[in-house]
Amino acid sequence: MQTDHKLIINGDSVTGDQGTFDVINPATLDVVAACPYASIAQLDVAVAAAEQAFKSWQHTPDAELKQALHRIADRIEANADALASIIVQEQGKPMFLAQMEVGGAVAWTRYTAELDIPVEVLEDSEHKRIELHRKPLGVVGSITPWNWPLMIAVWHIMPALRTGNTVVAKPSGLTPLNTLMLAEIINAEVPAGVMNVVTGEQGIGSAMTGHNTIRKIVFTGSTPTGQTIMRSAASNLKRLTLELGGNDAGIILPDADIDNIAETIFQTAFINMGQTCAALKRLYVHDSQYDALCQKLVAIAQAQTVGNGMDEGVTFGPVQNKAQFDLVCDLVDDARANGGRILCGGEPLKGKGYFYPPTIVADVTDGQRIVDEEQFGPVLPVIRYHEIDDAIARANACDVGLGGSVWSADIEQAQKIALQLECGTVWINGHAEVLPHAPFGGCKMSGFGVEFGQEGLLEYTVPQTLNINR
């Protein structure tokens, strides 16, 4: 793997003013690479470069913007093996999942390339024509997390470029390397200054959110950080898209075929070792099926092969960082101390790395930390319910509202229940599936704004009404 990583500012590779910081492999705790530590002054240079590039990039013909994104997708595809390897080493997920992430990044880029930016005719009469146009905002700041580092960067950056904006990206200091490579790939297809990336551990993100030249921030991460961003954005009334924390509930109806759904429930709860915003994080199961479903989930959990994502046959990697690992340990210990039954897992693995096996916790309920807090890790609490109205009320008794799901053989009944859940997306007989054509976002403390589809694309634009008197 490349070890001499540089910032990308105005099309140039630049050394960080503040030296470097180490990127750690969570499976081995070895240093993967030294990453450049940017200064606030370098951020200012990157923003100025993006602002200058915007003056011409915003006028790029629509067809050329589409072609540029397709060429970028070609380059991501050509570098798929290298990108997947970087993801495994800095994030920890198994290789098959990293390859899926790169494939998703390619597909999302191509889909975004083909989206159209409409001009809506509001009136076309004898004496007047009124049109609604969509114009790019300017410099967009992207701040991404460590769980899906390449995919989420693509979700932020590609619609910004497609709509004629320029970008300054700041990846998580835990997983910056693939975003640096992505920026190099993009810079091969766009003018200098259109795509910039700065890396650092402290201060860069907050400086971006308060920067008077940045016109929009797209952020995926925790609710407290989203609140801080919202306060900072008031300096110049930045547009915001905030995809924040979730604590997604799934409700299993008594008629559900648990033989058929158990594997899907497990995979959507433990995708990326549970480190996914829209993973299933609280499972409400009717009395009649509670014990049987718990047993099935345990069998699937115990069949996983936990280990280094680079090793063949591994299906389950480490928790990405020590802080998250410690939180998972703490939540499970708290559940055990408060009467929870640990059906499998429940203890970190011995040896190097942040390895915690997939853990199923039974006999817990609302009001306990394992249920009320987002674990964002390889733990699933299974909660017993008696009446469906009670399950709905408990699922909704939460400050956040990103996703939810209902599992049933009766689709019509499931739909009625789904529409009562207070969250941005509800899946029926599934969970955690995000698609490029389906808008995705949260409600309540899970943020606002949507990504994906034309609705998500238009979040990177400002409407302008053209009122023509004939």
114 has catalytic annotation: no
Q: What is the gyration radius of the CA atoms in the chain, in angstroms?
A: 23
Average pLDDT on 365-391 reads 98
End-to-end CA distance of the chain: 63
pLDDT digits (tens, 9 = 90+) for 7-62: 999 999 999 999 999 999 999 999 999 999 999 999 999 999 999 999 999 999 99
Which domains, and CATH codes, for the chain?
7-244+446-469 (3.40.605.10), 249-435 (3.40.309.10)
Model confidence pLDDT, tens digit, residues 175-224: 999 999 999 999 999 999 999 999 997 799 999 999 999 999 999 999 99
- Assess whether pLDDT exceeds 60 at residue 151: yes
pLDDT recorded at residue 3:
60
Rounded Cα distance, 158 and 167, in Å = 10
Residue of 242, 190, 211, 277 lying closest to 41 (CA atoms): 211
Active site annotation includes 277: yes
What token pair was written down for 5? 């990583």
Q: How confident is the model at residue 430 (pLDDT cuts 50, 70, 90)?
A: very high
**Residue 392 pLDDT greater than 90, yes or no:** yes
What letters, b where the CB count within 10 A reaches 16 and e where it falls short, cover 315-334? ebbbbbbeebbebbbebbbe
Q: Are the beta carbons of 243 and 219 closer than 8 angstroms? A: yes
Give the CA distances from residue 115 to residues 67, 73, 173, 197, 250, in Å, rounded to whole numbers and listed in that order.
12, 15, 32, 25, 32
Structure tokens at 317: 């990697």
* One-character DSSP codes across 261-304: HHHHHHHHHHGGGG--TTS--EEEEEGGGHHHHHHHHHHHHHT-
pLDDT at 201: 78
Q: At residue 1, does pLDDT exceed 70? A: no
Name the strands in the sheet holding 214-220, side by side, starting at the edge strand that comes first in the sequence.
Answer: 12-14, 7-9, 195-197, 166-170, 139-143, 214-220, 239-243, 447-448
DSSP β-ladder status, 249-252 and 239-243: unpaired
Q: How confident is the model at residue 150 (pLDDT cuts 50, 70, 90)?
A: very high
Rounded to whole angstroms, the Cα distance separating 310 from 174 reads 18
Structure token digits, residue 452: 């994906």
Three-state SS at 467: strand
Burial category of 391 from C-beta neighbours within 10 Å (exposed 0-12, middle 13-18, buried 19 and up): buried
Catalytic residue among 101, 243, 374, 459: 243
- CA dist., res. 463 & res. 470, Å (int): 22
Q: How far apart are CA 436 and CA 322, in angstroms?
A: 32
DSSP state, 125? -
Structure confidence at residue 2 (pLDDT): 54
pTM of the model: 0.97
Lowest mean pLDDT among 1-15, 172-186, 224-238, 442-456: 1-15
Q: Which of 35, 277, 398, 423 is catalytic?
A: 277
Burial class (CB in 10 A: 0-12, 13-18, 19+), 33: buried
> Residue 87: which H helix or E strand, with range?
helix 80-91
How far CA 223 is from CA of 210, 244, 269, in Å, comes to: 18, 5, 20
DSSP state of 423: S
**Residue 103 to residue 464: CA distance in whole angstroms:** 36
In this prediction, residue 464 carries a pLDDT of: 98
Percent of the chain residues past pLDDT 90, beyond the cut = 99
Mean per-residue pLDDT for 126-135?
98
Tell me the per-residue pLDDT of 341-361, one tens digit each, with 9 for 90 and over.
Answer: 999 999 999 999 999 999 999
d(CA 80, CA 161): 21
Query: What's the pLDDT band for 241 if we cut at 50, 70, 90?
Result: very high
Tell me what pLDDT residue 4 has.
75
Residues near 141 by Cβ (< 8 Å), separated by ≥ 6? 167, 168, 169, 170, 208, 209, 211, 214, 216, 217, 218
Distance of alpha carbon 75 from alpha carbon 213, whole angstroms: 30
Q: Which pLDDT score, from 0 to 100, does residue 132 have?
A: 98
pLDDT at residue 261, as a whole number:
98
pLDDT at 424 over 70: yes
Residue with tokens 């003013």: 17
